[in-house]
Amino acid sequence: MPPIDDSAIERILFVTAHPDDLDFGAGGTIPLWTAKGISVSYFVCTNGDQGGVDPSVPRSEMPKIRQQEQRDAGKVLGVTDVNFLNYVDGHLEATIELRKEIVRAIRKVRPQRMVIQNPERNWERIFSSHPDHMAAAEAAMQAVYPDAGNPFAFSDLLESEGLEPWTVSEVWVMSPNEVNHVVDISSTIDVKLKAIRSHVSQTAHSPELDDRVREWGSKNAEANNLPAGSYAETYRVVATA
């Protein structure tokens, strides 16, 4: 099933585990959407406190650093609605509490499209299967179905906060094991790289990173029969309504 045409999309919600996850996964797709006037919102589940490589930076400062980096990266891609749930980095689990937080986010943003990480382990690229990534993705899918559109699920969100049920029409899974949709990001690869480089604490020590990201994008394009010289991001689009 093809995705809903962008012309019918007004709002998109991202739910990811860490600051920088969505820039690596969709940093070329997001500016294509914001350029069309689509409103994009981020909800990042953890505070990012296990990130960085400089041991002289106090752990207590890392959440502030990484959250500002995510805001800076968002501005590069045309996104200003950046939110953090502030769970401890490395400790994320698909709990009922996290699920409720994501339901709250869905009912506030009321997105037609939601973008999440891959809830399945990738045995070919194990480093992409961080437990936090899979936990955030699993909780997000549970929040989409069955909860966000059910007035009897987390009824206090409706009764106390006035958050009406909302059904998300489709979910896009970033970098899935099984791809069914590809976005050509050849025109935005440089913008993606700039957004990734906004995460200074994570990337300043990697001079080869731009080349690596281009290589990933090129391989995605080649594997999905895009013209030579193209770059792409991959997704699994799931109808949820």
Q: Which domains does the chain have, with CATH numbers?
A: 7-239 (3.40.50.10320)
Angle, alpha carbons 152-156-160 (nearest 5°): 135
pLDDT tens string for the chain (241 positions)?
A: 789 999 999 999 999 999 999 999 999 999 999 999 999 999 999 999 998 888 888 888 999 999 999 999 999 999 999 999 999 999 999 999 999 999 999 999 999 999 999 999 988 888 888 999 999 999 999 999 999 999 999 999 999 999 999 999 999 999 999 999 999 999 999 999 999 999 999 999 999 999 999 999 999 999 999 999 999 999 999 999 9
The confidence score (pLDDT) of residue 46 equals 97
Cα distance between residue 216 and residue 232, in whole Å: 8
The confidence score (pLDDT) of residue 56 equals 82
The confidence score (pLDDT) of residue 100 equals 98
If you search the block for the tokens 């990266």, which residue do you land on? 73
User: What pTM does this model have?
Assistant: 0.96
Nearest CA to 16 among 130, 163, 165? 130
DSSP one-letter string for the chain: -PPPPGGG--EEEEEESSTTHHHHHHTTTHHHHHTTT-EEEEEEEE--TT--S-TTS-GGGHHHHHHHHHHHHHHHHT--EEEEEEEPTT-----HHHHHHHHHHHHHH--SEEEE---S--SSSGGG--HHHHHHHHHHHHIIIIIIT-TTTTHHHHHTT-------SEEEEES-SS--EEEE-TTTHHHHHHHHHT-HHHHTT-TTHHHHHHHHHHHHHHHTTPPTT--EEEEEEEE--
